[in-house]
């Protein structure tokens, strides 16, 4: 499970720290272990692009590294693509090891395929990702409306 | 080795627990160090349940056929055996689904105006900062329902209740505390707390989940008013907990869960209730679980709880010593054996408890990681999570060595850059 790439992200996390400006800030907790992440998302003025994702928190190597990988992938993506990335990661992690994950979509995220075999750790891997999904939804609501996605 | 340890035939005991032979996914034999969460069950417990089910299973306290008589006898004999095991009378024991339900039963009585000890605005409920959520949340909820105030003893640096951290007065109606902390292993000063409670007319509730399976417990001698513990932590079945209450208190308490079996007479308008303990056992009760739990009590009794206590103390001593030799490890709890039970919780600086637990799991060593349902205690120490090894009669020194070796491996693994 502890691939080298996971350990690298854990020891040297990318985009860590809370930054301004941001459209939404969320706090997610894993109640079974007490791990928590505070995560901010900044979208472009038109709400189409993920401009920045910043975060702080405490947690195990899996939750910390997964959040670091998340930021690498989604910063600069369109909101639509970012949410597709989240869906792909969630699908791989929740597959009990049956879905390998597409490196073109998930980049370093495919290193977490092994985590899927440990049900107790799935929530760890998803902590930052679910916080991101929540923050994007909240940040999108803040965007003034005419082009607001109804989906 | 001490005399008691010499009388302990660990090989024979381990043969009673087939699960301990299991080879885990990493290719290593299981070293089960999570008995504080749930213990393993010996064949004697499983056989007792099976024998009951294939010979005498029937609905307890109902009807008049032979199986009903036999199952009722098995159930009530089970109650008597478990009562004897903890120094109580049979009519002072209520079977619940788990210890949590037992504590809730008491907390609801304290919120019921039919009970002379019921609390209200101006009254104080006391608990401690080291409680398992099961002995905290029900009291928070009682305070919310009744307008009473919740106060608590804080804990000192070793994770013991600081008995001078709270001044009690006559507004205090109930003091709820754990016999052994499920995190730090610290043993509560029961005698002192009971004395202080009696001096102000308050009742005491003891969470005995981590003590009854690990040391001799005589509830009458301890003098507490209530106690709760669970079956599955003492080599018995799950789905069964035990609530102890002094008989005159149980008999004065209104019911909690209502329905069949707990009644005296029922009309469309109203119901009168059966005497305790039946008053608190609504619906069809657990039967094979009681039989299994009585078998667990007999199993522990045959070994001797003083022998169990001594054996576990040796394992705890070995774990404390072994872990002290790993530089990054800090014990969360007392580092000596004085006033200390089985759980050994620790943190490894710079490595999250989940990661420590995962490396240990790869070695087949099962420990608990997280806040162990004692989040306020972890907050107190500024920790999100700890790893916890906890022992039972079937554990060995070799398993302690494997724990220490696994922790060293975790330090090595996550320490390199």
CATH of the domain at A65: 3.90.1010.10
A138 lies in some domain? yes
Q: Which two tokens stand for residue A80?
A: 């639509």
d(CA A124, CA B401): 29
**C-alpha distance from residue B37 to each of A92, B232, B368, B371, B400 (Å):** 31, 9, 7, 12, 17
Measured between CA atoms, the residue of chain B closest to residue A62 is B355
Residues of B with CB under 8 A from a CB of A: 352-355, 358, 369-371, 375, 378, 384-385, 413-414, 417
| Partner residue facing B352 (CB), from A7, A11, A61 | A61
d(CA B141, CA A12): 43
Mean pLDDT of B379-404: 96
Query: Do the Cβ atoms of B407 and B391 come closer than 8 Å?
Result: no
- pLDDT band of residue A143 (cuts 50, 70, 90) is confident
B355/A121 Cβ within 8 A:
no
Domains of chain B by residue range: 3-32+305-415, 46-301
d(CA A145, CA B247): 67
Those residues whose C-beta lies under 8 Å from the C-beta of residue B74, and which sit 6 or more positions away, are: B52, B56, B287, B290, B291
B175 pLDDT higher than 70? yes
> What is the span of the domain harbouring residue A76?
4-142
Please tell me the pTM assigned to this model.
Answer: 0.91
> Could you give the number of structural domains in chain A?
1
Mean pLDDT of B327-333: 95
**C-alpha distance from residue B276 to each of B270, B352, B369, B390 (Å):** 19, 48, 39, 35
Q: Which two tokens stand for residue B332?
A: 């969360």
| Complex ipTM > 0.90 | no
How is domain B3-32+305-415 classified at the CATH fold level?
A: 3.90.1150
Of A120-129, B75-84, B199-208, minimum mean pLDDT range: A120-129
**C-alpha distance from residue A81 to each of A15, A67, A143 (Å):** 19, 17, 18
A149 lies in some domain? no
- pLDDT band of residue B3 (cuts 50, 70, 90) is very low
Query: Do the Cβ atoms of B8 and B303 come closer than 8 Å?
Result: yes
d(CA B412, CA B402): 15
d(CA A2, CA A61): 9
In CATH, the number for domain B46-301 is 3.40.640.10
Question: Is position B373 annotated as part of the catalytic site?
Answer: yes
């Amino acid at each position: 499970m502890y691939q080298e790439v996971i350990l690298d992200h854990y020891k040297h996390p990318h985009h860590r720290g809370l930054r301004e400006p941001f459209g939404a800030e969320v706090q997610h907790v894993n109640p079974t272990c007490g791990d928590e992440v505070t995560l901010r998302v900044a979208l472009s003025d038109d709400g189409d692009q993920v401009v920045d994702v910043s975060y702080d928190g405490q947690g195990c190597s899996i939750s910390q590294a997964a959040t670091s990988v998340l930021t690498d992938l989604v910063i600069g993506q369109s909101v639509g693509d970012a949410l597709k990335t989240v869906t792909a990661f969630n699908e791989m992690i929740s597959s009990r090891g049956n879905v390998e994950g597409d490196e073109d979509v998930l980049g370093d995220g495919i290193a977490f395929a092994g985590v899927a075999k440990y049900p107790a750790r799935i929530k760890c891997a998803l902590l930052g990702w679910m916080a991101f999904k929540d923050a994007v939804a909240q940040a999108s609501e803040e965007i003034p409306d005419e082009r607001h996605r109804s989906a | 080795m001490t005399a008691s340890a010499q009388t302990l035939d660990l090989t024979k005991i381990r043969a009673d627990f087939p699960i301990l032979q299991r080879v885990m996914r990493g290719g290593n034999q299981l070293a089960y160090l999570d008995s504080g969460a749930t213990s393993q069950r010996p064949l004697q417990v499983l056989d007792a349940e099976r024998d009951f089910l294939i010979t005498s299973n029937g609905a307890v306290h109902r009807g008049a056929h032979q199986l009903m008589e036999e199952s009722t006898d098995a159930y009530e004999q089970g109650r008597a055996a478990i009562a004897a095991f903890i120094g109580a009378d049979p009519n002072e024991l209520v079977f619940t689904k788990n210890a949590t339900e037992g504590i809730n039963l008491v907390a609801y009585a304290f919120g019921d105006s039919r009970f002379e000890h019921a609390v209200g605005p101006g009254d104080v409920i006391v608990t401690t900062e080291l409680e398992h959520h099961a002995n905290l949340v029900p009291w928070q909820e009682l305070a919310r329902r009744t307008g009473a105030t919740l106060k608590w003893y804080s804990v000192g640096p070793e994770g013991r209740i600081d008995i001078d951290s709270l001044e009690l007065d006559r507004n205090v109606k109930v003091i709820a505390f754990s016999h052994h902390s499920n995190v730090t292993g610290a043993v509560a000063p029961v005698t002192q707390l009971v004395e202080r409670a009696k001096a102000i007319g308050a009742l005491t509730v003891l969470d005995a989940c981590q003590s009854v399976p690990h040391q001799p417990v005589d509830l009458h001698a301890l003098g507490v008013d209530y106690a709760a513990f669970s079956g599955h932590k003492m080599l018995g079945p799950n789905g069964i907990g035990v609530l102890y209450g002094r008989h005159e208190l149980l008999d004065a308490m209104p019911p909690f869960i209502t329905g069949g079996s707990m009644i005296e007479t029922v009309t469309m308008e109203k119901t009168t209730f059966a005497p305790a303990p039946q008053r608190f056992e609504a619906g069809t009760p657990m039967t094979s679980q009681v039989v299994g739990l009585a078998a667990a009590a007999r199993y522990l009794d045959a070994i001797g709880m003083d022998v169990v206590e001594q054996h576990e103390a040796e394992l705890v001593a070995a774990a404390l010593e072994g872990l002290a030799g790993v530089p990054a490890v800090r014990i969360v709890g007392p580092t000596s054996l004085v006033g200390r039970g089985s759980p050994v919780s620790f943190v490894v600086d710079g490595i999250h408890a989940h990661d420590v637990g995962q490396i240990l799991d790869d070695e087949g060593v099962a420990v608990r990681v997280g806040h162990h349902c004692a989040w306020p205690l972890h907050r107190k120490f500024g920790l999100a999570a700890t790893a916890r090894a906890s022992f039972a009669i079937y554990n060995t020194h070799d398993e302690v060595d494997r724990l220490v070796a696994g922790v060293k491996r975790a330090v090595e693994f996550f320490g390199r850059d």
